[in-house]
Amino acid sequence: MRVILDAVFNHCGRQFAPFQDVVENGADSEYADWFHVQEFPVEFEPRPTFDAFGFEGHMPKLNTANPEVRDYLLDVATHWIEATDADGWRLDVADEVSHAFWREFRREVKAVKADAYVLGEVWHDAAPWLQGDQFDATMNYPFTYAVDGFLTEGTMDATEFSDRVGRFRFRYPEQVNQVLFNMLGSHDTPRLLHRCDGDETRLRLAVLLLLTAPGTPCLYYGDEVGMTGGEDPDCRRTMVWDESEQDRDLLAFFREVVALRNDRPALRRGRISFEREQCEGDVVVYVMSTGEPDESVAVAVNRGAQSVAVELPDELPADAEVVFETGESELRRSDDRTFELPASTGIVLE
């Protein structure tokens, strides 16, 4: 097991001692330039007289252009890796801190532990942070949005889903795509099962998409045993440890799909190519391949209420077999290269 620490270097708490000194001493405080104070004395109502995260007065923004602030934060970053042998940092609100700071942050952290993992929270196009001089990866919320649109919200069809995933893949180098931090939810979003309106079938389809996509899949604790929860803080419920209250069948499914990925190089480091002619309406079909012989798998997902015919992609031979499915219906071949894919089912062929 490895442990990554979570920190925010964009802002601090209202009780942070340097900020309290500014509240007390105003412009005469030795820490006055540690923050972005627009007007002294510091006021909190009707709105803060200083820059704050989300305009919340209890979260004043730090001035990372100040050398003293940079030194303080970089000391925090290196100290906890040295003191605990932590394996990296997940960086909150990363897109609101300067690129210059993150470049220095990376240099300092990697000097202490070369393989420390630096992960940034960016909810949109993260290309500026993924040039090799700042983060090792970012949280891939665009992937989350695409899965939501196709499966949990139903706001996009298969064509738009494939276009959305492809659009972001073309924005990043392939080396970046292979390590993006893919997820279906986090402590900042309603639980996946909640977004699926409790429909476990749709949840399983989403998990299949996650575990068969390029990148690094991340599972939010408890999703694998059926935990649910709405908007923050409901999505942060404590883990359900009592096995009698866990969905053990769902846990078995998660284990199977994780094993599927671990056992197949194409799913761990392959490139994705969508079968454009088949990505229509309710059906998504794509191939994951390393380019090596016998290292290609096809994934087909039917979110609809009716079975559909799916053509076997050209990358797979006619004798390709189904090695994984989310449903329980028996799959039928129409001919050597055509499958009948049941409603609300996802399959993997090899």
For residue 81, the model assigns a pLDDT of 97
Q: Give per-residue pLDDT as tens, 234-256.
A: 999 999 999 999 999 999 999 99
Quote the CA–CA distance of 52 and 37 in Å, as a whole number: 9
pLDDT (tens digit, 9 = 90+) per residue, 261-318?
Answer: 999 999 999 999 999 999 999 999 999 999 998 899 999 999 999 999 999 999 999 9
The predicted model gives 110-134 an average pLDDT of 96
Q: pTM for this one?
A: 0.94
Q: Which residues have a catalytic role annotated?
A: 92, 121
pLDDT of residue 330: 74
pLDDT above 80 for 225: yes
pLDDT tens digits along 65-112: 999 999 999 999 999 999 999 999 999 999 999 999 999 999 999 999
CATH architecture of 67-267: Alpha-Beta Barrel (3.20)
Output the pLDDT for position 199.
97
For residues 34-44, give the mean pLDDT.
96
Please determine, for residue 194, whether its predicted confidence score (pLDDT) is greater than 90. yes
The mean pLDDT value for 13-38 works out to 97
Report yes or no: 151 and 133 within 8 Å, Cβ to Cβ.
Answer: no
CATH number among 1.10.357.10, 2.60.40.1180, 3.30.9.10, 3.40.50.720, domain 270-349: 2.60.40.1180
What average pLDDT score do residues 146-166 get? 96
Predicted confidence at residue 350, as pLDDT, reads 94
Task: Read off φ and ψ for residue 160, nearest 5 degrees.
Answer: -65, -35
Is the CB of residue 298 less than 8 Å from the CB of residue 286? Answer: yes
For the chain, the average pLDDT equals: 95
In 3D space, the residue among 262, 244, 251, 344 whose CA is nearest the CA of residue 304 turns out to be 344
* pLDDT tens digits, 206-223: 999 999 999 999 999 999
Is 338 a residue whose pLDDT tops 90? yes
Per-residue confidence (pLDDT) for residue 183, from 0 to 100: 97
How do the domains of the chain map onto residue ranges? 67-267, 270-349
